[in-house]
Structure 1
Amino acid sequence: MNPDAAVTHFLLASALVLTAGHAAGWLARRLKQPYIVGQLAAGIALGPSLLGSVAPDAYTLLFPEQIGTALRGLAQFALVVFLFAVGYELDLKILGTRARTVVGVALTAFLVPMAVGSGCALLFREQLRALDVPHLSPGTVVFAGVALSITAVPVLTAIVRENGLASTVPGVVAVSAAGLLDVLGWTVLAGTLLENGDGRELPWQWRALLAAGFLTLTLVAARPLLRRLLWRTRMEPLLRLSLLIGFAFAAASVTQYLGLHAICGALLAGIVCPREEDGTLDPDLLRPLHDISSLLLPFFFVVSGQAVSLDSLNGTGWAAFAVVTALALVTKIGSGTAAARLGGLDRDDARIVGVLLSARGLTELIALDAGLRAGLLSGPLYTVLVLMALATTLLTQPLLLLVGRGAGLTPLRTTVRAPHESDGPPLPAPSESTTTAPGL
């Protein structure tokens, strides 16, 4: 295929991806589901499992191999911008202001699914071989735990606001705990990817040392340097946005080279990005970040969907999907509910916290994409886990309506105390400026 023809095919595929992705997201929203459900379904529908099976000639015409690199590049572009915004919005100060309730919920809702997922990978290694996992490496075992323990902050935040829970204790506890869960999940995932980066020029020990040096340098020097260069000079917003996105891509390229995947560098760049003098988020920075990532994320869903192969699942695969989905729901809802109850919430509030933490959304898909590219997942196992992410996200809203029916929600002004915990200030509401791309 000559370059002009490749450009034509790429433009045609882009038109379809953007139209189908956002139309499906809009339809999902009309059905009271998160935007991601529709976009992921559209991505799978445009992949080899559906479009490739029903109309193989049309699939080949729309998505020839020659444009695969360009589509993956746009998908990575959208991810870097999205995760840069997520890191910028992440308020790490919640660890010092929301005490043992949030920390206890986050740790329990992370460690229990992590242990169950890793344990099941070891226990059912024979069944995993039927899913084309020939060798159960330590990285795969850890990754199985990570896949069950992830919670998606963006989709959770959207669900909390759409259900009027932003001013209630369970809504605030769930969002705060999910933020800490994100930190734990990305940390474990980064370590797993780093150790599993076989075939690279540097051994993992050297890459670990370089990664630690890069992390330290970025955390110590990047924020004051960016504030001095970009804020105190009163640079115009568009130029500042361009330079910061360039910084995010530079950090992403470093972590990609070190085997940590570009997502880690993008998230780190967002975390060290300076806020306003009063600690609030800069709307001139945040709004275009959301617009850019929301517009282009359908490319990521299509690339993810093209790796999903429903035809590759045999009876063992569909049984694995049912078991993994059940475990994902039970471990996350059960551990989150129990920890919230022990942290001082009443029964209804604790159940709502548990259900909210079961939402996986885009965060799960990003982690699965990284695991697939690192060789930690086989194609069929990736398909199982993507379907699990779709199912758990789809079930969050119905389960929330079920457990919240007739529940008397505790308003935010009520102080939440762990047993025997001394009096303290009530939990604050999430900042209204931390609005993420809807339903992701």
Structure 2
Amino acid sequence: MHTAMTTTEIFLLAMLIIFSIPYLVWRLCDTNYYAPLVVVQIIAGILLGPGVLGSAFPDYYKFVFTPPVIQSLNSIAWWAVMLFVMIAGIELDLPKAWEHRRESVITASMALGTPLLFGCVAALGMLSYSGWIGPNGKDWQFVLGVGMACAVTALPILILLMENLEILRQPIGQRILRYASLDDIAIWGVLALILLDWTRVGRQLGFLVLFALAAWGFRKLMARLPERDRWYVSLIWLAACGFAADWAGLHFMVGAFLAGAVMDAHWFDQEKMDLMRHHVLLAFMPVFFLSTGLRTNWGMGGSAVFIAAAVLLVASVTGKLLGVQIAGKILKWQPGEASIIGWLLQTKALIMIIFVNILLDKGIITNETFTAMLLMAVASTMLTVPAVAPKLRQVKELIFRTS
């Protein structure tokens, strides 16, 4: 039977697995409280990878996930994640952050800086053992990359979780978006620094100069276009920025973020933008989660990977909560407020997964480190709603505070 099936048929079989298994688990097990569908899809991607399904059923794994099928899945995943990152860039609320700049800068810097420091310490410990740093990684790149992975806040998933908690459009939700927006800029700035290639620094600087000029012209054009044309032109702009950034050696994801960051959210209808984000999550991102799962590796032994994941999780969560607590003391927040904001800001999945995918692509980390950080991202995201929901019920008045 196997030899009679074409690559197209095997590809569609893989797509059937990708979309059906996570949905059935999510719906039948009613996991939405602690694991929304997107988190179940990430977990399913890990389980369907070589470390679990590949070990348990190697023949079937090799039959379904052949090199042509994997290449096809990766192509869909690349475009899906570029769309997703562009939307995250568009949704940055920088004018609001500037309007409340003292509060926003203090909170964002503490929420990013403290877990970054804790993560760097954990990374230094990992450097004491072989097998964690990638073949192309320098020590400082590894330490800063792992530290930033511990500090990341996943803005798109944060939006999804706050929608589920019914606080997204409330004052506290808008405040949290401001803090996450500033951190998002810092995350991509640090990534660009890590990826800076001194052998191609002229090309990279040239890209940044040309991008600034092109962005000026692009903004002028977009301001004059009707909204229906803006959607289509934004996709052309996305492809161009992704190509140029990758050609310069920065990575196409950096280009995708920059493509979105220079666009104004008010150019697009908010409801349509929400729908587009949901549709990308629904129709395309599950393929990215599966392609991510295919890259997991337990070669150092499951125990070492799980120990590393646990250490990184502790560094990430405690660092984020402590940093926001410090900000709350400085800004004289009400009791309980810092805890709610800290837990929501430590949501990791998606943006952190994208971040570490890039580090793996560039050979800065190994597959084992990638797997440990992927487990950390899933665990931290699953902790968020169970930690926050009871606190919100206890302090409902905090939802309506504007600063």
TM-score, normalising length: structure 2: 0.90
Please tell me the residue identity of whatever aligns with 2:348.
Answer: R
Deviation at 1:317, TM superposition (A): 2.8
Deviation at 1:223, TM superposition (A): 0.8
Q: Kindly tell me: are residues 25 and 92 of structure 1, through their superposed partners in 2, closer, same or farther at Cα, counting changes over 3 Å? A: farther
Aligned pair partner of 1:162 in 156, 161, 164: 164
3-state SS of the aligned residue for 2:16?
A: helix
Aligned pair partner of 2:236 in 216, 236, 246: 246
Aligned pair partner of 1:225 in 221, 234, 240: 221
Q: Kindly tell me: are residues 290 and 415 of structure 1, through their superposed partners in 2, closer, same or farther at Cα, counting changes over 3 Å? A: closer
Aligned residues of 2:313 and 2:376 also touching (Cα < 8 A): yes
Q: Which residue of 2 aligns with 1:331?
A: 319
Deviation at 1:334, TM superposition (A): 1.3
Q: Which residue of 2 aligns with 1:36?
A: 38
Q: Distance in 2 between matches of 1:254 and 1:295?
A: 26
3-state SS of the aligned residue for 2:350?
A: helix
3-state SS of the aligned residue for 1:49?
A: coil
Q: Are 1:210 and 2:206 an aligned pair?
A: yes
Q: Distance in 2 between matches of 1:247 and 1:105?
A: 33
Q: Distance in 2 between matches of 1:255 and 1:170?
A: 35
Aligned residues of 2:38 and 2:281 also touching (Cα < 8 A): no
Q: Distance in 2 between matches of 1:284 and 1:358?
A: 27
Q: Distance in 1 between matches of 2:69 and 2:245?
A: 25
Aligned residues of 2:34 and 2:383 also touching (Cα < 8 A): no
Q: Which residue of 1 aligns with 2:141?
A: 139
Deviation at 1:73, TM superposition (A): 0.6
Q: Which residue of 1 aligns with 2:92?
A: 90
C-alpha offsets along residues 135-193 of structure 1, whole Å, 9 cap, x if unaligned?
Answer: 65321121011111100112212222322333655433222101111111111112212
Query: Residues 173-322 of structure 1 correspond to what in structure 2 (within 5 A)?
Result: 173-195=175-197, 203-228=199-224, 230-231=225-226, 237=228, 240-276=230-266, 281=269, 283-284=271-272, 287-288=275-276, 290-310=278-298, 312-322=300-310
Q: Which residue of 2 aligns with 1:369?
A: 357
Query: Taking every aligned residue pair, what percent have the same amino acid on both sides?
Result: 26
Q: Which residue of 1 aligns with 2:387?
A: 399
Q: Which residue of 2 aligns with 1:409?
A: 397
Aligned pair partner of 1:343 in 320, 331, 348: 331
CA RMSD of aligned residues (A): 2.7
Q: Kindly tell me: are residues 281 and 92 of structure 1, through their superposed partners in 2, closer, same or farther at Cα, counting changes over 3 Å? A: farther
In structure 2, list runs of 5 or more residues that go unmatched.
none
Deviation at 1:302, TM superposition (A): 0.5
3-state SS of the aligned residue for 2:383?
A: helix
Aligned residues of 1:106 and 1:181 also touching (Cα < 8 A): yes
Q: Distance in 2 between matches of 1:170 and 1:289?
A: 22
Please tell me the residue identity of whatever aligns with 1:17.
Answer: I
Q: Kindly tell me: are residues 219 and 347 of structure 1, through their superposed partners in 2, closer, same or farther at Cα, counting changes over 3 Å? A: farther
Deviation at 1:56, TM superposition (A): 1.2
C-alpha offsets along residues 286-316 of structure 1, whole Å, 9 cap, x if unaligned?
Answer: 6345414531101110111011124543543
Q: Are 1:153 and 2:158 an aligned pair?
A: no
Aligned pair partner of 2:107 in 105, 108, 117: 105
Aligned residues of 1:81 and 1:293 also touching (Cα < 8 A): no
Q: Kindly tell me: are residues 405 and 146 of structure 1, through their superposed partners in 2, closer, same or farther at Cα, counting changes over 3 Å? A: same
In structure 1, list runs of 5 or more residues that go unmatched.
197-202, 417-440
Worse overlay, 358-367 or 9-18: 9-18
Deviation at 1:349, TM superposition (A): 1.1
C-alpha offsets along residues 305-348 of structure 1, whole Å, 9 cap, x if unaligned?
Answer: 01112454354333222211111110011111221332231121
Aligned residues of 2:94 and 2:178 also touching (Cα < 8 A): no
Q: Distance in 1 between matches of 2:153 and 2:184?
A: 7
3-state SS of the aligned residue for 2:352?
A: helix
TM-score, normalising length: structure 1: 0.83
Query: Residues 65-76 of structure 1 correspond to what in structure 2 (within 5 A)?
Result: 65-76=67-78
Aligned residues of 1:100 and 1:343 also touching (Cα < 8 A): no
3-state SS of the aligned residue for 2:6?
A: helix
Q: Which residue of 1 aligns with 2:174?
A: 172
Worse overlay, 210-219 or 350-359: 210-219
3-state SS of the aligned residue for 1:82?
A: helix
Deviation at 1:411, TM superposition (A): 4.3
Q: Kindly tell me: are residues 92 and 62 of structure 1, through their superposed partners in 2, closer, same or farther at Cα, counting changes over 3 Å? A: same
Aligned residues of 2:157 and 2:347 also touching (Cα < 8 A): yes
Q: Distance in 1 between matches of 2:74 and 2:332?
A: 46
Q: Which residue of 2 aligns with 1:20?
A: 21
Q: Which residue of 2 aligns with 1:116?
A: 118
Aligned residues of 1:226 and 1:274 also touching (Cα < 8 A): no
Aligned residues of 1:85 and 1:290 also touching (Cα < 8 A): no
Q: Which residue of 2 aligns with 1:63?
A: 65
Aligned residues of 1:90 and 1:179 also touching (Cα < 8 A): yes
Deviation at 1:274, TM superposition (A): 4.9
Aligned residues of 1:118 and 1:142 also touching (Cα < 8 A): yes
Q: Distance in 2 between matches of 1:252 and 1:97?
A: 31
Deviation at 1:219, TM superposition (A): 3.2
Q: Distance in 1 between matches of 2:262 and 2:331?
A: 31
Q: Kindly tell me: are residues 35 and 340 of structure 1, through their superposed partners in 2, closer, same or farther at Cα, counting changes over 3 Å? A: farther
Q: Distance in 2 between matches of 1:66 and 1:312?
A: 28
Aligned residues of 2:158 and 2:345 also touching (Cα < 8 A): yes
C-alpha offsets along residues 181-218 of structure 1, whole Å, 9 cap, x if unaligned?
Answer: 1111111112212338xxxxxx2321331232133123
Q: Distance in 1 between matches of 2:272 and 2:167?
A: 27
Deviation at 1:113, TM superposition (A): 1.6
Q: Distance in 1 between matches of 2:208 and 2:285?
A: 30
Q: Which residue of 2 aligns with 1:433?
A: none
Please tell me the residue identity of whatever aligns with 1:39.
Answer: Q
**Whose helix proportion is higher, 1 or 2?**
2
3-state SS of the aligned residue for 1:340?
A: helix
